[in-house]
Amino acid sequence: MNLVLLGPPGAGKGTQAARIQEAHGLVHLSTGDMLRAAIASGSDLGNQVKEIVESGALVPDDIIIRMIEERIAAPDCAKGFILDGFPRTVRQAEALDSMLEKKSLKIDHVVELKVDDAALVKRISGRFSCAACGAGYHDAFKQPKTEGVCDACGGKEFSRRKDDNPETVKARLEAYHAQTAPILPYYREREVLRTVDGMADFDGVTAQIAAALQ
């Protein structure tokens, strides 16, 4: 099974993708995580995209399409994958379809997480994660059980994404509405789009996604 998780920044795509990965044994592919890893490593790709990612704008389609095409060709993706943060433009959606078609594969479901813009700014602004294992936390909604200690690995260092500040969040939301939302009709026409209420709590959203994938 190959899935796309669609939704604005802060909709909970990463959290839900991690849960689906565990439940269905799929590979979680987050283009945002790949770009942040490239930036942290100081690679040519990382240097090329650093400023764009930190501004909240979208990285050019050609760069992203090449990156995903290489990743999907890796053997672990043969068991199926969850795309989180890709495609983000109609051109990326078309490129995805044609790269999968060459391998006789397809996207089986596209799940849209629908969330109000006002809630997103609040959700994103309080996010932080464990620097060692990446477990996600939130100032208002999910503090570690022991202050300053990661629940998952015991790590004591935490980090916040550079683009999780109110101005950049605004730019990211604008990019979503202008460039990514037009993908919804593309997938609706192909009858693979399922919309779930992303305002529900984490478990509620997970249950809705499980029902949508049946």
- Min dist CB 34 to ligand AMP, Å, is 8
Identity of the amino acid at 123: R
What span, in angstroms and rounded, lies between the C-alpha atoms of 89 and 87? 6
Query: Which of 81/86 has CB closer to ligand AMP?
Result: 86
Query: CA of 3: how far to CAs of 64, 74, 113, 116, 143, in Å?
Result: 18, 17, 13, 23, 30
Query: Which of 117/211 has CB closer to ligand AMP?
Result: 117
164: helix, coil or strand? coil
Query: Which of 14/144 has CB closer to ligand AMP?
Result: 14
- Min dist CB 17 to ligand AMP, Å, is 10
Query: Which of 26/173 has CB closer to ligand AMP?
Result: 173
Helices (H), 104-165: 117-125
Contact by Cβ (8 Å): 114, 198:
yes
Exposure string of 173-185, with b = 16+ CB inside 10 Å and e = fewer, is bebbeebbeebee
| Residue with the shortest CB distance to ligand AMP | 32
Which residues, including other chains, have CB under 8 Å from residue 181's CB and lie 6 or more apart?
none
Catalytic residues: 13, 88, 127, 161, 172
The H or E element spanning position 84 is strand 81-84
- Min dist CB 28 to ligand AMP, Å, is 12
User: Beta partners for 81?
Assistant: 27
Residues near ligand AMP, by CB under 6 A: 9, 31-32, 35, 52-53, 56-59, 64, 85-86, 88, 92, 163, 172
- Min dist CB 149 to ligand AMP, Å, is 25
